[in-house]
Amino acid sequence: MTTSETERIVQAEENYKKDPLYIPLTELEQSAFCQTENNLITKPLKEELQSTWINWQKIPESYQNLDANELDQRILKSKSILGKDLVVLGHHYQRDEVIKYADITGDSYLLSLEASRQNAPYVVFCGVHFMAETADILTSSDQTVILPNMAAGCSMADMAKTNDVIDAWDDIQTITTSVTSVTYMNSTASIKSLCGENNGIVCTSSNAQPVFEWAFDQNEKIFFLPDEHLGRNTGRKLGIPESEMMVWNPFKPMGGLTNDEIKSAKVLLWKGHCSVHTRFNITQINNAREKFPDVTVLVHPECTNDVVNAADLNGSTEFIIDTVNNSKPGSIFAIGTEINLVNRLANNNPDKQIFCLDSMVCPCATMYRVHPAYLCWVLDSIIEGKPTNIINVDEKTSNFAKISVNRMLEIK
C-alpha cells in the first residue's frame, strides 16, 4: 500500500469518527482489498475475513475453509441438481470467481428485469442489497429472491437513509411544492417507494437525461438522490449552470442551504457518492494521455464532473461495455469504472489495450463481499429445503416502488 493510500485511509477513518452518519463503514473497508497488481485473487473466505475489520455475514466454518477447487465442484453440483428451478444473476462488478456461475450477467436494473422474465422459482442475485430488492419488486410472488451475503450493501445507497430523505422532502415542501423527486436505481426500495408515493420517478445511469426532461415537464425543480455526481453531470448535459444546482447535506438544517438558494435551484442534489467512481481524477487522465496519445478515456457518469468533462466519453456500464466491444482492433482505452469489469473487458478483447485509470486496484468493497463460499452456502440451503437470505420487500413499499419504476419505463 502506498504512502498516499495509507494517508487517505487514515483521513477517512478520522472523518468517520467526526461524522459516522455520512461515511459508511463499507467505504472504509474498500481499502482492505486495494492492490497494486492487475488482478484480485480470491482466497478461502476465512482468509478474506481476516482482511476486513467489518463483520460480514456469519456462515458455517466448514464453508469458510473451502478452497477454489472445492467450491467450484460443490457449486457446479448444486446448480446441476437445481437445474431449471434456479437462475443465478451476476452483476458486472462481481469478481470472476463468482461471475463464472452466473446464468445471466448485466447491470443492476437489467438483471432485475431479466429475473422477472424467468420461470425459475429461485433467483440468486450475486450483487448488493438494493439490487436484490429491485428483483423482488419486479419478480412474481411465486419467485424467491436470495442474496448470498446479507452484508453486501451499497455505500451510496446507505448515504440516503429513509428518515433523512423524508425530513429533507418535508423541508423542501415548506419552501416550494413545484419539485419532482428522482432517485437513481442505486437506492433502497424504501426510497424508490417514497418517490412513487410522491409522484416521483426512478432513473438509471443510461436514461437519466430523458428522466430529468420528464421531471422538468412536471415541475420547476428536481430533488435528485442519492448520487450528487450523476445528478450534476446529467444537469450539465441539459445546460443547467452549476449555480442552479445545490447540494443538500442531510446532516445540516435545511440541507445547509438558505431559502433563497432552494428557491433559485433547478436541481437539489443529495450529498452522496460512489466510493469506486470518485477515486478517478484529472491527474490520472493526464497521465494516461501522456503515456498513450491515442488513448480514449471512457468513464462512468458517477465520476466527478471535472473527470467526466476531461474524458472523451462517459456512459453507463452497458455503454462502456458496448463501446469497448465494438471498437476496432488496436484501440486503446483508459477506463474509469470498477476494476473487475475493466479486467474482464481486457481479457475479452485481447486485440485492444485496456487498462484502469487508477493504478491502485480497488474493487467495489460491497460487491466483493459475495465470495463463492456464500454462493455455495445459499445453494446448499435451497437443496436442503431451507432457503436462507430471502429478500422480502413488504407489499406497500413494493407497490409504490413499482409505480416509480413504471413511470421510468413509460418514457420513450
Report DSSP letters for 40-100, one per residue: -----HHHHHTT-SSPPPP--HHHHT--HHHHHHHHHHHHHHHGGGEEEEEETTS-HHHHT
The domains found in the chain, sorted by start residue, are 34-153+366-395 (3.40.50.10800), 157-275 (3.40.50.10800), 277-356 (3.40.50.10800)
Angle separating helix axes 108-116 and 129-138, nearest 10 degrees: 30
Q: What is the pLDDT of residue 108?
A: 85
Whether 2 and 360 have beta carbons less than 8 Å apart is answered as yes
Q: Give the separation between CA 163 and CA 11, rounded to whole angstroms.
A: 28
Q: How far is CA 108 from CA 113, 147, 160, 181, 340, in A?
A: 9, 13, 18, 21, 15
Q: What is the pLDDT of residue 45?
A: 76
Cβ neighbour number for residue 48 with a 10 Å cutoff: 18
Average pLDDT along the chain, 412 residues, taken 10 residues at a time: 42 43 46 49 73 75 93 98 97 93 93 91 96 95 96 91 97 97 97 97 96 98 98 98 97 96 98 94 97 98 98 97 98 95 95 91 76 97 97 97 95 80
Q: What is the pLDDT of residue 40?
A: 56
Q: Give the separation between CA 357 and CA 345, rounded to whole angstroms.
A: 14
Q: What is the pLDDT of residue 286?
A: 97
Kindly report the backbone phi and psi dihedral angles of residue 205, in degrees, each rounded to the nearest multiple of 5, phi listed first. Answer: -70, -20
What residues contact 47, with CB distance under 8 A and at least 6 apart? Answer: none
Q: What is the pLDDT of residue 19?
A: 43
Q: What is the pLDDT of residue 368?
A: 82
Q: What is the pLDDT of residue 5?
A: 40
Whether 138 and 405 have beta carbons less than 8 Å apart is answered as yes
Is it true that the peptide bond before 20 is cis, omega within 30 degrees of 0?
no
Give the position of cell 461524522: 19
Q: What is the pLDDT of residue 216?
A: 98
Q: Give the separation between CA 348 and CA 195, rounded to whole angstroms.
A: 39
Q: What is the pLDDT of residue 337?
A: 95
Cell of 339: 476494476
Task: Report the Cα 279 to chain-centroid distance in Å.
Answer: 14
Strands 313-314 and 296-299: parallel
What residues contact 12, with CB distance under 8 A and at least 6 apart? Answer: 23, 27, 28, 31
Question: 373: number of CA atoms within 13 Å, CB side?
Answer: 23
Question: 242: number of CA atoms within 13 Å, CB side?
Answer: 4
